[in-house]
């Protein structure tokens, strides 16, 4: 079977990510080897997601709630990966996205710990997020979690768990151009505006400690999180995973699928307009405003965001900084998650233990 270049690119760039975030390896191998054309991607992954969804619905019917949560959580991840870069057929993408949202919503009460779907006022409309609080902690610190270009809150369980296990709450949210926020709101370089709305929302909650807020971001979120930390001093500590310092500098080396997804989620009509918009995502003359502790992670084998971008961020900030360059790590070091997920979660727990001061 001869696969088109886009399918090969997706497999090469994202295999480790899929498995690290909850896709069963055999499922990944079977689905991807069954596809010849990128046009088949969404349908094939949605079909396999349906297998896990049906298991979850059967478990719910039989009142096996733990099993239901596990199956439906996994189904949500699969449906997300069906749509994550599938922007050439918006109706098909939206259908898969709707199923991803539905499955994780059904899973939330049955996860350990459970989650709550929340609505955050923003720009006259709403952003949607998932708040999870660790068991047995009355008012835990909270980590606000910014996703990447092709991420959504339905993918985030594997990222949430290390923080929850250490007594930290998590609030993962779909920001502008992300998940449920991608239809109403375009990607914006000044992402701190969206994060301000998220932190304002956190301050209204009485079940988390709004004086101890951490910020976390992955991939393009690894730009969004430090960008927010530069402007909002309510953020007491920040983790940036494989984010760009200047997105336009990375543009020409990005996979075709990634550039096209950025165009669509920036609400740009042409590739040229998307490239111009990419130039608005920069930490130049901004990173030096970051004074809270920051932990920067990158993989030296990253073929999407060069590791030097992380090094540049670490050099520019004014507060305490830790830089972890994983020599054999790929993008977000998804092939070596054990090298940074526990370590960054330990670090964040220590920073928020008694309320870090900027």
Confidence bin at 358 (pLDDT 50/70/90): very low
**CA separation for the pair 73, 109 (Å, rounded):** 11
Angle between helices 65-83 and 41-61 (to 10 degrees): 170
- Peptide linkage before 214 cis (omega within 30 of 0): no
**Residue 282 is encoded by which pair of tokens?**
């920069």
Check whether 356 has a pLDDT greater than 90. Answer: no
pLDDT category of residue 357 using cuts at 50, 70 and 90? very low
Are residues 119 and 104 part of one domain? no
DSSP notation for 315-353: HH-SS-EEEEEETT--GGGGGGGGGTHHHHHHHHHHHTT
Give the pair of three-digit tokens for residue 55: 């298991």
Which of 89, 111, 133 is the last residue in one of the domains? 111
CATH number at residue 29: 1.20.1440.110
Q: Are residues 197 and 289 in the same domain?
A: yes
Is 173 in the same domain as 80? no
Q: What's this model's pTM, rounded to 2 decimal places?
A: 0.96
Amino acid 2: pLDDT: 73
Neighbour-count burial of 49, counting CB atoms closer than 10 A to its CB (0-12 exposed, 13-18 middle, 19+ buried): buried
Considering the domain architecture, whether residues 67 and 77 belong to the same structural domain is answered as yes
Let me know whether 293 and 335 are in one domain.
Answer: yes
Q: Do residues 338 and 246 both lie within one domain?
A: yes
Q: Are residues 285 and 156 in the same domain?
A: yes
pLDDT digits (tens, 9 = 90+) for 90-114: 999 999 999 999 999 999 999 999 9
Q: Does pLDDT of 164 surpass 70?
A: yes
**295: helix, strand or coil:** strand
Average pLDDT, the chain: 96
Claim to verify: residue 85 and residue 123 sit in the same structural domain: no
Question: What CA–CA distance (Å, rounded) separates 74 from 61?
Answer: 18
289 in Cβ contact with 318 (< 8 Å) = yes
Cα–Cα separations (whole angstroms), residue 152 to 100, 127, 234: 9, 12, 24
Residues 122 and 85 in one domain: no
Which one of 111, 146, 170 terminates a domain? Answer: 111
Domain shared by 135 and 154, yes or no? yes
Contact present, 93 and 145 (Cβ < 8 Å): no
Same domain? For 186 and 129 the reply is yes
Q: Which of 111, 127, 147 is the last residue of a domain?
A: 111
pLDDT tens readout for residues 71-95: 999 999 999 999 999 999 999 999 9
Measured in degrees and rounded to the nearest 5, phi and psi for residue 174 equal -85, 110
CATH number of the CATH domain containing 123:
3.40.50.1820
pLDDT given for residue 52 in this prediction: 98
30-76 pLDDT, tens digit per residue, is: 999 999 999 999 999 999 999 999 999 999 999 999 999 999 999 99
The token duo for 287 is 């990173």
Distance CA 214, CA 80 (A): 26
Instruction: State which residues form the domain around 54.
Output: 1-111
Do 21 and 163 fall within a single domain? no
| The pLDDT of residue 355 is above 90 | no
pLDDT digits (tens, 9 = 90+) for 253-303: 999 999 999 999 999 999 999 999 999 999 999 999 999 999 999 999 999
What does each C-alpha distance from 172 to 13, 117, 142, 178, 337 come to in angstroms? 24, 10, 10, 11, 19
For the segment 299-317, the average pLDDT, to the nearest whole number, is 97
- φ, ψ of residue 136 to 5 degrees: the values are 80, 10
- Residue found by looking up tokens 């088109």 in the block: 4
Q: Domain count of the chain?
A: 2
Mean pLDDT, rounded, for 186-199: 98
């Amino acid at each position: 079977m001869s696969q088109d270049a886009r399918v090969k690119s997706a497999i090469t760039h994202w295999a480790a990510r899929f498995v690290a975030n909850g896709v069963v390896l055999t499922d990944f191998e079977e689905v991807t080897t069954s596809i010849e054309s990128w046009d088949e991607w969404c349908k094939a992954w949605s079909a396999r997601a349906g297998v896990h969804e049906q298991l979850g619905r059967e478990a719910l019917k039989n009142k096996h709630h733990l099993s239901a949560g596990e199956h439906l959580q996994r189904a949500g991840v699969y449906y997300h990966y069906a749509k994550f870069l599938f922007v050439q057929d918006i109706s098909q993408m939206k259908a898969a996205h709707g199923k991803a949202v539905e499955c994780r919503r059904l899973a939330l009460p049955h996860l350990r710990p459970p989650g709550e779907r929340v609505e955050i006022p923003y720009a006259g409309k709403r952003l949607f997020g998932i708040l999870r609080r660790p068991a047995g902690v009355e008012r835990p610190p909270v980590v606000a979690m910014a996703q990447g270009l092709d991420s959504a809150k339905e993918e985030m369980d594997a990222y949430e768990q290390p923080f929850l296990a250490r007594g930290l709450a998590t609030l993962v949210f779909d920001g502008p151009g992300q998940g449920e926020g991608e239809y109403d709101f375009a990607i914006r370089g000044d992402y701190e505006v969206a994060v301000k709305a998220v932190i304002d929302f956190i301050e209204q909650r009485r079940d988390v400690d709004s004086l101890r807020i951490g910020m976390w971001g992955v991939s393009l979120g690894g730009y969004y999180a430090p960008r927010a930390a530069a402007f909002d001093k309510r953020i007491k500590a920040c983790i940036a995973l494989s984010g760009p310092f200047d997105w336009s500098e990375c543009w020409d080396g990005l996979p075709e699928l990634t550039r096209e997804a950025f165009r669509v989620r920036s609400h740009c009509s042409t590739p040229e307009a998307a490239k111009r918009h990419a130039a608005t995502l920069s930490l130049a003359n901004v990173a030096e405003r970051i004074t809270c502790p920051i932990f920067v992670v990158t993989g030296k084998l990253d073929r999407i965001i060069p590791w030097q971008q992380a090094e540049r961020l670490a050099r520019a900030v004014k507060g305490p900084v830790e830089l972890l360059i994983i020599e054999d790590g790929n993008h977000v070091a998804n092939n070596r998650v054990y090298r940074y997920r526990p370590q960054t979660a330990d670090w964040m727990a220590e920073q928020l233990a008694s309320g870090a001061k900027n």
